[in-house]
Structure 1
Amino acid sequence: MTEDEDYLDKSPSAAQMGKAAEYLVAATCILATQGELNVSTSQADNAGVDLVFHRRGSSVTLAVQVKSRTSTTSVVQKGQYLADVRAQTFRPRDDLDMLFVAVDVERMAIMTAWLIPSGVFGEMVSEPNGKGKYRFAASLKPDSKDRWTPYRLTVAELSQRILTRLSELEKAE
């Protein structure tokens, strides 16, 4: 099965791995901030939101759509990251970010992440392809200078960037 195929056609294990990656992101962010970040999950992904972050003591939230790829995929092994975002559910807004994560399954850890405000993502991607999807393609190579480099994060930087995004949203209120 290619990575271009519709997510509904993916195997149950692919959906299971995607959900596990979402929980890994949530747990990593909670632990890294010693509980300052809290995370809610969606029971159904019909609005393009997988996780909702908020800072302890604040009502401001950041919705996040997570796209994950594992170290066992051939594309990741070649130092690339590819993911598709369905145009049908993608609706840019100030409080929605796209999070692309590469997960090392041996270490059970996030290798690399890109957190991109949905408005920025919408401006930077071209029109949807014939299957109604926007393509995200980035390099996993540390010295890469592709167009997504400003949004690229280490696992240590991810939770801090989410806190920064929440602060930006609080100021905009």
Structure 2
Amino acid sequence: MSYDEDYLDKSPAAARMGKAAEYLVAASSILATRGELNVSTSLVDDEGVDLVFHRRGSSATLAVQVKARMSTGTQVQQGRLMAFVRSQTFQPRTGLDMLFVAVDVERGAIMTAWLIPSGTFREMVTEPNSVGRFRFSASMKSDSKDRWTPFRLTAAELPRRILVRLSELAKTAAE
């Protein structure tokens, strides 16, 4: 059986699970920062933005496209997160990050995440495949040293990294 690149075709529940993962990221980020982070969601995801983070008292925002994979999936069980980003709608820009996240469905918790500025992501991926998708494939193993390792985060590190990204964006806007 070949690997199906369109995650939403795998299961009727996949879209529901993906949305739940987005809300998990949002809620855990708000809780872990004791309300310093706030998160908005899009009613329509036609620009590749699932969540928009902002820090209380600041005007800087960080748009995030979330690609979630569940612990029940074969790749995640083997210690790898693989996801695809459609080149037709992907528009790298300042203030847009890609968030790849593995979710433990039994615990309802983030296992591992990668937060990557969209421009950096575009520089690091190869050309799109035959159906126009960029491929992200990273090891979840703590001792791995693949090219995505500098962006790998634990669940506890993710909210702090979002705050750092917002500070970087606020500084850039002030210059």
TM-score above 0.5, yes or no: yes
TMscore range, shorter length: over 0.9
Identity of aligned residues (%): 74
Q: Secondary structure at the match of 2:81?
A: strand
CA RMSD of superposed structures (Å): 1.3
Instruction: Answer whether contact 1:103 1:109 (CA < 8 A) is retained.
Output: yes
Alignment of 1:1-173 (within 5 A): 4-6=4-6, 9-173=9-173
Change (3 A) 1:141 1:7: closer
* Matches of 2:158 and 2:129, distance apart in 1: 29
- What's the CA shift string for 1:94-140, capped at 9, x where partnerless? 10000000000111100000000000000000110001100000001
* Matches of 1:152 and 1:5, distance apart in 2: 22
* Matches of 2:2 and 2:18, distance apart in 1: 16
Instruction: Answer whether contact 2:125 2:135 (CA < 8 A) is retained.
Output: yes
> Aligned AA for 1:97?
D
Q: CA deviation at 1:5?
A: 3.4
**Could you list the runs of 5+ residues in structure 1 that have no partner in the other structure?**
none
Instruction: Answer whether contact 2:4 2:10 (CA < 8 A) is retained.
Output: no
* Matches of 2:81 and 2:2, distance apart in 1: 14
Change (3 A) 1:2 1:95: farther
